[in-house]
Structure 1
């Protein structure tokens, strides 16, 4: 079991094994998530940009500039 101490400024130094397990290093941010039972989970707040791949659906077809202009104009008219 890894143990850490809270400093007088409220700071905690994570033990090396915990940093390694979380995959975090100097400058990384952590999220503290309160669980239903009142305990907290600590998870890295920063993720690789690669983790976002596939998050948004791909469009099946390209849209022309003329189609974009027409859609903008229709939206401005409230159509």
Structure 2
């Protein structure tokens, strides 16, 4: 059992090994679900992901971004077997 102490402000601190078990790091979020008999379920909140987080993720350092037209040209060449 991992007992924790409640501060005067009603705050609790989870031990490092518990946070590692949840797979959370500073800045991440956890959720608490109320269960019967005064119990809580603690789970890591996993981001659903947004398209904004994907933009630029494939870009290599030192390379410029390409336009949609350039992407379409490369795709067409690939389907034609020219690449």
TM-score by length of 1: 0.50
Q: Secondary structure at the match of 1:20?
A: helix
Query: Is residue 38 of structure 2 the alignment partner of residue 32 of structure 1?
Result: no
**Aligned residue number for residue 44 of structure 2:** 44
Distance 2:14 2:23 in 1: 12
Give the number of the structure with larger relative contact order, counting CA–CA contacts within 8 Å between residues 6 or more apart.
1
Distance 1:48 1:23 in 2: 16
Distance 2:28 2:12 in 1: 14
Distance 2:3 2:37 in 1: 21
Give the Å deviation of 1:13: 0.8
Question: Quick one: structure 1 residues 43 and 2, their matched pair in 2 at CA, closer, same or farther if it must change by over 3 Å?
Answer: same
User: Unaligned 5+ residue runs, structure 2?
Assistant: 50-83
- Post-superposition Cα deviations, 1:13-32, rounded to whole Å, max 9, x if no partner, equal 10111101001121221111
Distance 1:25 1:16 in 2: 9
How many residues are aligned here?
Answer: 49
**Aligned residue number for residue 4 of structure 1:** 4
Question: Quick one: structure 1 residues 38 and 11, their matched pair in 2 at CA, closer, same or farther if it must change by over 3 Å?
Answer: closer
